[in-house]
Structure 1
């Protein structure tokens, strides 16, 4: 796995280069059937990553945000496969704010066991292998191990939220949380902020897809955090997210938490309102 992750890191950096070539030119945007934006950078990174992985691990299929429908239909029989978002944060890419990433995860029996996230503009990479810890690295520098921090009740809760996808469910949830500060961050960088100890949680009620979270999930877990389903009726956290277990690729509502927060979250009194009384 250590050798494999080094190969995936190299592929992710190559995808970053392909994305930056488009980023430095006028960006042409089209729409997918679901009206989400699509650029040449999404497609270039998808083709590069898919081709490299087919050579590196020919027996493992690849599922990408830009995969064709036939690949998606066949996937439920897969035990081990690559799960890719070739350009996570396309809206951030179009807005040229630098907060977009390349996400590559290896999924085995419904769980991520390897993950790499690379941020082209930030020139930074985060990666993890199951039971080997989480790491941050810049080119030509040694990797540094990262870890979440443990939130203390006397501290303000540091929340990261989507820069482009706010919704009323999140607004309702924020009203029942302890005193907090909210930072808008694009793409899977929200998970990385928690994994590094710069934030405490990322609540995400609303639609995301499995390729949005796979790589970030294992990185956060190996840094000491967790990614759990969030019941937006009771505001309780439930079991961990799983992958490729349903016909839909849409994740349930979830929350990413730093070290120890999952245990505190469901304790009586942590939230200021209870089901049926939240605004």
Structure 2
């Protein structure tokens, strides 16, 4: 059982669990699966529910007693304590991308402490790409079910702002006029679309400089990508520059707008 103080060990334990859960996700992805609507009108598939069951069982083995806030169990009415350390789980982030079979969905697990993410993993099994962040950050190639270790991945870091102008990454499904206006005001010269938490990861690995998002998200959508970005030298802020915090129980863990930065200097 990893020590909560060893953020890198925690992050790689999350990577192990993401890889394991992705086996079931990819089995379903390759079939003619059906999607259903939840009470909030968002889509869900068997992959979301079965992967979450696997993840929750594995987390209980390796981090027993640590509360887990997971998307599907939350939708079913489970409300864990989030006033201390807790874990965020999104078994299939980007369900619309999963349904559209464009490969841009991820498995997300993050540790939250003092309302901030301190370790996380984002795994895109259809793209065979994994991102891991604790005290340090890594990325590399991984197939669902494979074992992941730091030696098999490459260290990643955010890049300095290019003198010729920034590249912004935006939601494939949710870019809006406010987001586009923000990018223009920042002098962004290139806009790249991507799905799910991969947007955080593109900034973390230095492929982009900023990810603005003004539409609604939930904490399980952002925690893992935020952790990876933090570990790579970036940060996430509210649009006014205030810290972007978690454990927002009073609003059912709904996020406001945010900007994920590679470098703020």
Task: Flag whether TM exceeds 0.5 (same fold).
Answer: yes
Shift, 1:4, TM fit: 3.3
Structure 1 residues 70 and 39, CA gap change in structure 2 (3 angstroms): closer
> What CA deviation, in whole Å up to 9, does each residue of 1:79-115 have, x standing for no partner?
0111011100000011111001000001112111110
Structure 1: gaps spanning 5 or more residues: 231-236, 264-279
Please say if 1:148 is aligned against 2:158: yes
Shift, 1:56, TM fit: 1.6
Shift, 1:50, TM fit: 0.7
Shift, 1:240, TM fit: 2.1
CA separation in 2, counterparts of 1:91 and 1:5? 26
Please say if 1:128 is aligned against 2:128: no
Shift, 1:138, TM fit: 2.3
Structure 1-normalised TM-score? 0.85
Structure 2-normalised TM-score? 0.89
Please say if 1:39 is aligned against 2:48: no
CA separation in 1, counterparts of 2:133 and 2:185? 33
Shift, 1:6, TM fit: 3.0
Structure 1 residue corresponding to 2:256, chosen from 241, 252, 255: 252
Contact 1:106/1:114 (<8 A) preserved: yes
Runs ≥4 residues deviating over 6 A: none
- Indicate the SS of the match to 1:113: strand
Structure 2 residue corresponding to 1:191, chosen from 200, 218, 227: 200
Contact 1:226/1:240 (<8 A) preserved: no
Shift, 1:179, TM fit: 4.3
Shift, 1:7, TM fit: 2.5
CA separation in 2, counterparts of 1:202 and 1:85? 20
Please say if 1:200 is aligned against 2:200: no
Structure 1 window deviating more from structure 2 (7-16 vs 133-142): it is 133-142
Question: How do 1:154-173 residues align onto structure 2 when only pairs under 5 Å count?
Answer: 154-173=163-182
**Structure index of larger Rg:** 1
Contact 1:169/1:206 (<8 A) preserved: no
CA separation in 2, counterparts of 1:107 and 1:122? 26
Contact 2:137/2:156 (<8 A) preserved: yes
- What residue number does 1:221 align with? 230
Shift, 1:171, TM fit: 3.2
> What CA deviation, in whole Å up to 9, does each residue of 1:58-94 have, x standing for no partner?
210111111245433x434x30111011100000011
> What CA deviation, in whole Å up to 9, does each residue of 1:125-174 have, x standing for no partner?
11111xx211113237612100111113x313201000011223223323
> Which structure is richer in relative contact order (CA contacts within 8 A, separation 6 or more)?
2
- What residue number does 1:9 align with? 15
CA separation in 2, counterparts of 1:87 and 1:36? 12
CA separation in 2, counterparts of 1:144 and 1:178? 30
> What CA deviation, in whole Å up to 9, does each residue of 1:162-197 have, x standing for no partner?
001122322332342314211110000011101110
Structure 1 window deviating more from structure 2 (21-30 vs 179-188): it is 179-188
Structure 1 residues 70 and 182, CA gap change in structure 2 (3 angstroms): same
- What residue number does 1:116 align with? 121
> What CA deviation, in whole Å up to 9, does each residue of 1:193-227 have, x standing for no partner?
01110001000011011111111111111111110
